[in-house]
Amino acid sequence: MSATLLRGGRLVPGGDADVLVRDGRVAEVGTGLAAGRAEVVDCAGLVVSPGFVDLHVHLREPGREDAETIRTGSRAAALGGFTAVCPMPNTDPPADNAGVVEMVAARGREVGLVDLFPVGAVTLARRGTELAELGAMARSAAAVDTFSDDGSPIREARLLRRALEYARAFGAVIADHCEDVSLTEDAQMHEGELSGLLGLRGWPAAAEDMIVARDLMLAELTGGRLHLCHLSTAGAVELVRSAKARGVRVTAEVTPHHLSLTDAALTRYDPVFKVNPPLRGKADVEALRAGLADGTIDAVATDHAPHAREAKEVELAQAPPGMLGLETALAVLLTDLVEPGWLTIDQAIERLTSGPARCRSLPGHGGPITPGAPANLTVFDPAARWTVRPEALASRSRNTPFAGRELHGRVRHTLLRGRFSVRDGAVTDGGEP
């Protein structure tokens, strides 16, 4: 079968080395490897890393194919350097049973650009009243090991407790969207000085911190595995830090937009900056950066949330929350966190690879790049400069908060089991819509 020699790149983690890929696996890693009959790909000046993993995406299929499909979302993921993504269950119908998670996984395999690891709903129809059939989803062909009602929190502590206990029995993870909805009704942005000035209803940090605190207590009580989605507040970071110090089984993620933007972006009432949880103040952003650097936060996850133009181009109060993230994640991290010195490039890559792979089971993904491992790899140019143009994105939607920004760092190649899903910055599926 085919063989490829990635020559002269810098491995992260590691150092300068060639990577020989054969039959879908890493065959050899070392300097001065002989190409033999392998095709040689020059990687001088490029970084070679394990394929990126995104714990949190919304691919909108089934139900909102006008905003994204598994194909367009897979293309966006591959272009962003991802080889594995985890689609959330808030589809229509919701992924609260074996049939829907199997359909999503099968459609992902058919498209074949990125591995999909579907997240199942915790409660039936995500209504928060009774547990969904977690066991059936776990035993299904999709082998679901993570459950979430993302978009909504699990409101009732009693139900979260039962979910943590039940999931614990088969080693699964409960991922919560932390929001006390009694404090966030009709909220348009972070509650702070600016929301007062703009006359917009605010979403207080306390609404996140309270649920994070509750969830950590229940994880401690049950011994279950808890994952916290898209942390956005300094208080949440501190709660997770102290829970980890006492051995609570918790992992956490943060999005590129919460690491790089503040509530000041809402000054022009532009719905593209409306997201849940909302963009916070500078002190929160700095706490998230510090938490990511010291490992309190395990992973960067995009919460890629496509919305059709008609849905997002309305008044702020009517617009649904959410932003695109897959195609800009790496560059935002390199430009806004690595360049200013918050993270090293190795740390940034760790939070996109082995960090997320610690949060749930993702066989074959997250690295390391060692002989025998599936060749799920990302090759990027850390120095490439590019300007984000919404119309040039592979996503079916256009709601990126980074439109017009010049970013540094761009994916050159993505390999899924040794096969290029992206080559020289282009998806290899022939541009099928």
**Site residues (vs Zn ion, CB under 5 A):** 150, 177
CB 70 within 8 A of CB 81: no
Measured distance CA(83)–CA(78) in Å, rounded: 6
Of 96, 303, 336, 381, which residue is the catalytic one? 303
Q: Indicate if 303 belongs to the active site.
A: yes
Least Å from the CB of residue 221 to Zn ion: 24
Tokens of 419: 């096969």
> If 0-12 CB within 10 Å is exposed, 13-18 middle and 19+ buried, where does residue 395 land?
buried
**Strand partners for 26:** 21
Least Å from the CB of residue 241 to Zn ion: 21
SS3 382: strand
Least Å from the CB of residue 56 to Zn ion: 7
Least Å from the CB of residue 150 to Zn ion: 4
Measured distance CA(12)–CA(111) in Å, rounded: 28
Torsion angle in degrees (nearest 10) through CA of 247, 359, 99, 417? -150
DSSP strand pairing (146-148 vs 173-176): parallel
Least Å from the CB of residue 179 to Zn ion: 8
Tokens of 85: 């993504």
Least Å from the CB of residue 58 to Zn ion: 9
**Sign of the dihedral defined by the CA atoms of residues 391, 393, 396, 402, in that order:** negative
Least Å from the CB of residue 405 to Zn ion: 24
Distances (CA, A) of 20 to 166, 270, 308, 327: 43, 47, 42, 27
Cβ-based nearer residue to Zn ion, 177 or 413: 177
Cβ-based nearer residue to Zn ion, 71 or 177: 177
Residue nearest Zn ion by beta-carbon distance: 177
Distances (CA, A) of 316 to 201, 308, 312, 324: 11, 15, 8, 17
Cβ-based nearer residue to Zn ion, 177 or 351: 177
Measured distance CA(262)–CA(372) in Å, rounded: 43
Tokens of 186: 């009709």
String of DSSP letters for 41-85: EE-TT-EEEEPEEEEEE---TTT-TTT--HHHHHHHHHHTTEEEE
**DSSP structural state of residue 192:** S
Q: Which residues are known to be catalytic?
A: 303
